[in-house]
Amino acid sequence: MTSSQVKDARFRLTPTQAKELSQEFGTPLYVIDEAHFRARIRSYKQAFEKAYKNGYITFASKANSTAALMKIANQEGCAIDVASEGELRGALLAGVPASSCHLHGNNKQKEELVFAIEQGIDHIVADNFDELNLISQILKETGKPSPKIVLRLAPGVDPVTHAKISTGQADTKFGFNIADGSAEKAVTQTLALGLDLYGFHCHVGSQLLDPEAQRSGGQLIADFAVEIKKAHGFEARYLNVGGGLGIMYTENDVPMSHEDYCQLIVNSILEALEGSGIDPILAQEPGRSLIGESGLTLYTVGVIKTVPAKDTTTRTYVAVDGGLSDNPRPVMYGSKYTVERVSGKPASPTSTYTVSGKHCETDKLFPDIELPSDLEVGDLLQVLCTGAYNSSMASNYNRYQRPATVLVRPDGSYSLVQQREPWEVLFAREIIPQDL
C-alpha cells in the first residue's frame, strides 16, 4: 500500500478553531480531539475483536498520561497500562480502578509494588528474578493475595525502527530472555513462589511500519507458551503482544490498517498455538496508535531570520514559542512531523524553512520543511500527530512552563484538561537554606 492509498485522517484545527484556542489558552498548546480519540480506540478494538473472540485492548498511558485521556480510554473499554506509581496514581485520579490497570517497569521499587498491590492492581508485568522475589516478600508482609503475574519476555526480535525505541531484541534491559533459558527459569520460579502466574508478554518496539517484527514476536511467545505447557504443565491464560503499530507522522509513513494488523498478529499466534489446547485471552497495549494522530501542538511564529548556510547558501529560521521542552522527540530520535500554517490566509507558494524552538540549544524542531512564502510573525503553526510522547515527555528546561492541554469536545466546545504550569508550581520544589 502506498501513501496515496492511505486516507489522511489526522486531526487538524480549522483557522477559526486555532485562533480561538490561541486567544483563550495561549501557545504553545496541546490540543486533543475527543471524538477522534474515541474513534481510534473503537476502530482498534473492533478490528482486534473481529480477528479474535477474546481480543483485549490496554491503553499504554506512557504515550499520554493526561488523566482525562485515561478516563476516556477506560470508558471505551480499555484497561490502562501504567509504567510507574505516578501513572497509576494518575489513573486512580481519573476514576479508573486499579483492577483495570496493569503495572509495567524494568526496575520497580518496593514502594511502587506495595502501593499497586494495596490498591488492588489487576496484574503486574514482572521483568526480572529479583522482582519476583520482592513480590513474594511483599505478599507475605502484607497478607495480600497474589495479583496476576505476567512475565515479560525478550523474544530476540530486532524490529525496523529507531534503536532507542527498539525493545524486543536479545540485548535489552527488558524482560526474561527466551533463548538463554531465563524465561523458562522465570516460569518455574514464579510457580515455586506460589504467585498467580497468568501468562506472558512481549513488546518488540514502537512506531512499527513493517509488521514483521510484531508478527514474529507474537509467534515466539506463543511457541514459548506451548513449550512451557509441554515441559511444566502450565497453561497460559493470557498472551500480550504489546503495542507498537506506527502512525502517519508524515505522508511518507504508511501504517497498516487496524484490521489488517490485528488479523496478521492473531494469525501468527493461532498458528503457533494450534493443537496445544491453549485458548488464552490475547491482549495488545497500543498507545501511540490510539492517541498520536488525535493530538496536535499549536505554536505562534516569532522571529524569522535568514542566515548563511554551508549546504544551501542561506537558511531561513522560524522560531516558535516552544521547542524541545514540549517536544523532545526531534532531538532524541530525529523524528519528523507534518507542520502546517493555520492562519486562514489564502494559499501561497512555499519556501523552505527550518522551524526552531526558543531554548538555549540548537533546538531544530523541524528542519528544511515547506511553509508558505508569506509566513509572518504572529502566524499560527499546527504540528500534527503530537498526541503521543509530547505532553508525557515535556520538561521545564530553561524554566519554561509545560503547556496546557485542551480537549475539543464532540459538540465543538473546548475543555481545559491540563492547565499551563503555574509559576508557583514550577518553583514549588525549591528550598533556599536560611543561612544563605
Contact 229, 279 (CB under 8 A): no
Is the pTM here over 0.75, yes or no?
yes
pLDDT per residue as tens digits for the range 158-210: 544 444 434 444 577 889 999 899 999 999 999 999 999 999 999 888 788 88
Q: Verify that 281 and 327 share a domain, yes or no.
A: no
Contact 158, 166 (CB under 8 A): yes
Query: In this structure, is residue 26 part of a structural domain?
Result: no
How many domains does the chain fold into? 2
Candidates 279, 282, 136, 277; CA nearest to 197 is 136
Q: Verify that 270 and 419 share a domain, yes or no.
A: no
Per-position DSSP letters for 412-429, written without gaps between them: S-EEEEEPPPPHHHHTTT
Q: Verify that 184 and 332 share a domain, yes or no.
A: no
Query: In this structure, is residue 43 part of a structural domain?
Result: no
Task: Out of 286, 305, 335, pick the residue that ends a domain.
Answer: 286
pLDDT per residue as tens digits for the range 38-55: 999 999 999 999 999 999
The predicted structure's pLDDT at residue 161:
42
Cell reading at 404 = 496546557
Bridge-partner residues for 192, per DSSP?
none
Query: In this structure, is residue 255 part of a structural domain?
Result: yes
CATH of the domain at 160: 3.20.20.10
Q: Verify that 277 and 334 share a domain, yes or no.
A: no
Mean pLDDT, residues 66-78 taken together: 98
Q: Where are the alpha helices (DSSP H) in 233-387?
A: 258-273, 288-291, 329-333
pLDDT per residue as tens digits for the range 276-323: 999 999 999 999 999 999 999 999 999 999 999 887 789 999 999 999
Q: Verify that 256 and 399 share a domain, yes or no.
A: no
Q: Active-site residue 202, yes or no?
A: no
Query: In this structure, is residue 13 part of a structural domain?
Result: no
Task: Out of 252, 286, 320, pick the residue that ends a domain.
Answer: 286
CATH of the domain at 379: 2.40.37.10
Q: Tell me which of 101, 202, 262, 360 is the catalytic residue.
A: 360
Q: Verify that 116 and 239 share a domain, yes or no.
A: yes
Q: Verify that 248 and 197 share a domain, yes or no.
A: yes
Confidence at 241, pLDDT banded by 50, 70, 90: very high
Confidence at 215, pLDDT banded by 50, 70, 90: confident
Taking the CA atoms of residue 15, residue 323, residue 352 and residue 350 in that order, the dihedral angle to the nearest 10 degrees is 0
pLDDT per residue as tens digits for the range 381-417: 999 999 999 999 999 999 999 999 999 999 999 999 9
Q: Verify that 136 and 59 share a domain, yes or no.
A: yes
Query: In this structure, is residue 259 part of a structural domain?
Result: yes
Query: In this structure, is residue 388 part of a structural domain?
Result: yes
Question: Does residue 211 surpass a pLDDT of 90?
Answer: no
Q: Tell me which residue range forms the domain holding 361.
A: 293-426
Q: Verify that 181 and 269 share a domain, yes or no.
A: yes
Summary mean pLDDT of the chain:
93
Q: Verify that 264 and 341 share a domain, yes or no.
A: no
The predicted structure's pLDDT at residue 214:
83
Query: In this structure, is residue 366 part of a structural domain?
Result: yes
Task: Out of 242, 261, 286, pick the residue that ends a domain.
Answer: 286
Q: Verify that 65 and 214 share a domain, yes or no.
A: yes
Query: In this structure, is residue 195 part of a structural domain?
Result: yes
The predicted structure's pLDDT at residue 157:
63
Burial (CB count <10 Å: 0-12, 13-18, 19+), residue 91? buried
Q: Verify that 321 and 402 share a domain, yes or no.
A: yes
pLDDT per residue as tens digits for the range 104-127: 999 999 999 999 999 999 999 999
